[in-house]
Amino acid sequence: MHNTELDDLAAELADFAPPEKKEGRTAKEERIIAGFEDTQRFVATHGRVPQHGEDRDIFERLYAVRLDRLRALPECRALLEAMDHQVLLSGVPAAAPTADIPDIDDLAAELAGAAEAGDITVLRHVRASAEKRAAEEIADRTPCKDFETFRPLFERVQTDIQTGMRQSQPIEAGRRAIEAGDFFVLDGLTLYVAEIGKPLKTTAGEVDRRLRVIYSNGTESNLLLRSLQRAFYNDPAARRLASPQTGQLSIGGEFDADDVESGTIYVLRSLSTEPYVEQHRELIHKIGVTGGKVESRIANAEHEATYLLSKVEVVATYKLAGIHRTRLENLLHRLFALARLNITIHDRFGHPVQPEEWFLVPLFVIDEAVERIKDGSITNYVYDLETASLKPSP
């Protein structure tokens, strides 16, 4: 919601407690004065200027935006200077982030019935923003009825940590990607992300998802993905329990809302009986990136031309964190473009198809490429066909 819309709403609220009429002032000036007096009463009551932030009362956020506007407009400062006994107009506008400015529908809902209240600054039967957010993040944690299904997973994680198969890693800002199957430690409890729902739009226009999260104490919750990410931020001791076997991959830089679910690089080997594939089976690999489960992706491989109309086996996977999946897949395919498998097969309708994602590249070279993507050095290397290895680019 734009600041101008908040000003209009502020003007309407001011009508509930209009100041004493002063001769010679326009209706607009009267509204400006009334709004400023609301802010002054807030400061007198709370001993501080109103602040921006989702954890603040809806009226405090309104007063904060309005005070910023009054400070920024010379005509308003001139009108109010004589009555500014609290020296409010000399401050610097706080410039609230867009995310902190309340949505017009949310604000209207919270203000419903306010006109009937004895004091316009008192909201009755309305939860404060902080209370609502806390309730969302708790998200009705309930006993997990099928916890026995998950208990072995938690036991395995503890064993992996003790043997060094998993590592406890800090969750850094910008690296809070969440994938189904991930384990974290939050507020002293180990949690397992069992399911990630379909994308949904928030009132702020962002992409979010509903999670099924299982906790080591036998409870579960269905909180939102962004709520869990925010909980990581609020708990400095939060940790990701990452497995080196899965090749946890994280490249620097910001990522978009569409990337929050992360993904997996997968390397497949064909079980085709086609003579050329059989002869070079140990060298021919399909390299792809998916946001879902690899097992689901290859479930019908023998019926799809892209999988050479045959079953495949997964020979390596690398989990992603904070990476644009399509760009990464394109990067890998460009790197090995000279080694692309030149093969034509006929689909189930008899049409010739040339699969694009199969390459004559040894598995250890693919593994090295992923490591160089992780440390950022991949841009300095090219794939050499003669030696079947990565070499520094000329």
10-residue stretch averages of pLDDT, the chain, 394 residues long: 52 47 70 84 83 72 82 86 86 48 42 42 46 49 89 84 72 69 87 87 73 92 87 83 53 41 82 88 90 86 86 87 74 88 76 82 90 80 89 84
pLDDT digits (tens, 9 = 90+) for 74-90: 888 888 888 888 888 88
pLDDT digits (tens, 9 = 90+) for 98-113: 444 444 344 444 444 4
What pLDDT does 67 receive?
Answer: 86
Closest CA to 193 of 234, 223, 171: 223
326 close to 295: Cβ distance less than 8 angstroms: no
What pLDDT does 270 receive?
Answer: 92
What pLDDT does 256 receive?
Answer: 42
What pLDDT does 334 receive?
Answer: 87
311 close to 301: Cβ distance less than 8 angstroms: yes
Q: How many CB atoms lie within 10 A of CB 289?
A: 22
C-alpha count within 13 angstroms, C-beta hemisphere, residue 158: 8
What pLDDT does 17 receive?
Answer: 44
> How are strands ordered across the β-sheet holding 167-170?
142-143, 219-221, 211-215, 189-196, 183-186, 239-242, 167-170
Q: How far is the C-alpha of 268 from the C-alpha of 12, rounded, in Å?
A: 64
Its pTM surpasses 0.75: no
Closest CA to 141 of 186, 199, 110: 186
Position of tokens 């079947």?
388
Give me the residues paired with residue 319 across strands.
264
* Rg from Cα positions in the chain: 29
The 3-class secondary structure across the chain, one letter per residue, is CCHHHHHHHHHHHHCCCCCCCCCCCCHHHHHHHHHHHHHHHHHHHHCCCCCCCCCCCHHHHHHHHHHHHHHHCHHHHHHHHHHCCCCCCCCCCCCCCHHHCCCHHHHHHHHCCHHHCCCCCCCCCCCCHHHHHHHHHHCCCEECCCHHHHHHHHHHHHHHHHHCCCEEEECCCCCCCCCCCCEEEECCEEEEEEEECCCEECCCCCEECEEEEEECCCEEECCEHHHHHHHHHHCCCCEEEECHHHCCEECCCCCCHHHCCCEEEEEEEECCCCHHHHHCCCCEEEEEEECCCHHHHCCCHHHCHHHCCCCEEEEEEEEEECCCHHHHHHHHHHHCHHHECCCCEECCCCCEECCCCEEECCHHHHHHHHHHHHHCHHHHEEEECCCCEEEECC
What pLDDT does 126 receive?
Answer: 46
b/e for 327-340, b at 16 or more Cβ within 10 A? ebbebbbebbeebb
